[in-house]
Amino acid sequence: MARNHVTTTVNGEQVEYLCDTTQSLLSVLRDELGLTGTKEGCATGDCGACSVVADGRLVCACLMLGVEAEGQQIETIEGVASSAGLHPLQQKFLEHAALQCGICTPGIIVAAKALLEKNPDPTEEEVRYWLAGNLCRCTGYDKIIRAVLDTAKQIQGVSS
């Protein structure tokens, strides 16, 4: 039986691919499109390492089928920095040393960016709840939370 032919938009660029019905979007991104910035952690929706945005919704790419992306707008970590340089979140993660091994970082940056677009001035509690589905086994989270809050301040022009 034929594989599914999918036309979608990834980071603003139209792409086409073939995928099996049961193939996850995560597998498509990494194995078919070579976008390996999105990481596989648990592959069961618990760890958030594969966080991407699909039609404006933060999702785990491991829990979405590649075939479902037909006609959607998919945003991954590869689309976060621009030709002008790093996204403010990426810069703040460096400044705050909000990463150690880095495997969770792409997912957390994508998730935090989605939060700040929805809620530009979150409280610490809101950041912690929003990111509760992104597991980090190195940092203890505090530096991550501080980096996100500091980014929010910077974007609002009241840089600390």
Q: Which residues contact other proteins by CB under 8 A? A: 1-4, 20-22, 24, 43-46, 48, 51, 54, 57-60, 62-65, 67-68, 70, 111, 114-115, 129-134
Residue with Cβ nearer other proteins (84 or 125):
125
Type and span of the H or E element at 13 = strand 13-19
Burial 121-132 (b: 16+ CB within 10 A, else e): ebeeeebeebbe
CB of 84 to other proteins, least distance (A): 28
Query: Within 13 Å, how many C-alpha atoms sit on residue 18's CB side?
Result: 3
Q: Least Å distance between CB 50 and other proteins?
A: 9
Closest distance to other proteins from the beta carbon of 91 (Å): 23
Nearer to other proteins, 94 or 119 (CB): 119
**Per-residue tokens: 102:** 């880095």
Q: How many residues does the chain have?
A: 160
* Cβ nearer to other proteins, comparing 7 with 97: 7
